[in-house]
Amino acid sequence: MKPLKRSDLFSLERYAETRSEFRQKVLVHKKSRQVAIGAHITLYFEDRLTIQYQIQEMLRTERIFEADAIQEELDAYNPLIPNGENLMATMMLEYSDVAERQAALEKLIGVEDKIWLQLGQNAKIFAIADEDLERENEQKTSAVHFLRFPLDDSSIHAFNNHEPLLFGCDHEHMLETVSVESEATYQSLLADLNP
């Protein structure tokens, strides 16, 4: 997928006019772009549209309209757009209870390096986490991580041949595997490899 440019974005005024409609479009699009790994990990897969939405919301919230500042946002978010050889995801560790979440984040240090996908009979591909900045310390991990799944030719071939797609977590305190059964999700993620 091509990176976003300033010309791809709505002006603040135009975005204010179209925000409700655009937001609804993105929410529908996102429904087929999430995979739950067990009860507490959800992967929200990013693409050009989801990243455009995030940038537009940032520009709106911060009232950014200067060209240099807009370019800074583009430079920060464009690396989260898949390039045809990878999948990009925001990983959320989700717990409704604050105390439970705090305890889990302390126990799950390193979980972001234990998330994988597998296509067909190919080997597991572990995500590369948080390339922009470190999101954990010695006491706890973060509830949000950014993951890149680099796909080799064999896995891309398996994906295009519609072989089974699995995601999982191999952390000692969270051993989970899930198969992507939704055709809409499979096709939506496959589109990231065939822009």
Q: Tell me the domain boundaries of the chain.
A: 1-31+48-81, 32-47+83-195
Neighbours of 34 (CB within 10 A): 16
Across the range 148-175, mean pLDDT stands at 97
pLDDT digits (tens, 9 = 90+) for 69-119: 999 999 999 999 999 999 999 999 999 999 999 999 999 999 999 999 999
d(CA 149, CA 80): 11
Beta bridge pairs of residue 176:
169
> Contact at 8 Å (CB) between 169 and 110?
no
Task: Output the average pLDDT for the chain.
Answer: 95
pLDDT value of position 131: 83
pLDDT digits (tens, 9 = 90+) for 44-70: 999 999 999 999 999 999 999 999 999
pLDDT value of position 195: 62
Whole-model pTM: value is 0.91
**CATH architecture assigned to 32-47+83-195:** Sandwich (2.60)
- Confidence band of 140 (pLDDT split at 50, 70, 90): very high
pLDDT value of position 138: 78
Rounded to the nearest angstrom, the gap between the alpha carbon of residue 105 and the centroid of all alpha carbons in its chain is 19
The SS3 assignment for 155 reads: helix
For residue 188, which of 57, 26, 77, 79 has the smallest C-alpha distance? 26
